[in-house]
Structure 1
């Protein structure tokens, strides 16, 4: 599943968030060559949806958001990452598993973008369980 909707999402968010989203998208595709990606949950408050990245044998493992004041990268098995991403408020169906919970990092501007840390989390996430199935 290669989806143009992720490119549309990146092109449609705030330009300062788009720069970081392009970096994360590029890192994911570099570090996980067989990654599948698309946008989900298109609704009036999020007409472009939410980009999700996953592996067919694990499910969705990473997602991105563009909020009003920050860009966010979420990891479905976030509590299994070392170090754990700092933001624990990640409501959603992925948090129904009792063995792990989703976590994310919120990045206010490009100077806060820690590529080494995000690269480490992506490398770890590809080995961890995901959420749902990829069709």
Structure 2
């Protein structure tokens, strides 16, 4: 019909009320850049469906394994760092339609090496699908990764 408006096929969910989060492609929450626990918790709360529960579990494992972990949201993804800002970031996560992708920035140095390869030689990924989080293995990787030099971003 002439003059009728249509949503583009690749449109994102628009926020209807103040404080409502926009979900980007694949359901990744659009959270403003920020440092500390608050923006990370906002990201986790906005993760769609089962991913929010898994996001809380991931965050809890990281906090248990590394008390005092540094947190931030950058580029619509939570980042985790050990020590002071000079140490950099060791891990981030991102929502996709069917899984959560965890990036270990020095993952090639972990034992065992996380299964997902990257175009960057040191980075390794862990894709977590519904019901697949192995908390013990994840905690072991977090502990190892937190002791390695982090990425400065």
Secondary structure of the residue that 1:74 maps to in structure 2? strand
TM-score by length of 1: 0.80
Counterpart pick for 1:68 among 83, 97, 104: 97
**Are 2:62 and 1:28 equivalent residues in the alignment?**
yes
Secondary structure of the residue that 2:116 maps to in structure 1? coil
**Are 2:108 and 1:108 equivalent residues in the alignment?**
no
Deviations 1:2-45 (A, max 9, x none): 2311111111111211111111101111111121101001xxxx
1:86 corresponds to which residue? Answer: 115
Equivalent pairs, count: 117
**Structure with the higher fraction of residues in helix conformation:** 1
1:45 corresponds to which residue? Answer: none
Structure 1 residue runs of 4 or more that deviate by more than 3 Å after TM superposition: none
The runs of 5 or more residues in structure 2 that have no matched partner are 1-34
Counterpart pick for 1:118 among 116, 125, 138: 138
The runs of 5 or more residues in structure 1 that have no matched partner are 42-48
- Distance of 2:80 and 2:116 partners within structure 1: 19
Higher normalized contact order (CA 8 Å, seq sep 6+, divided by chain length)? 1
TM-score by length of 2: 0.71
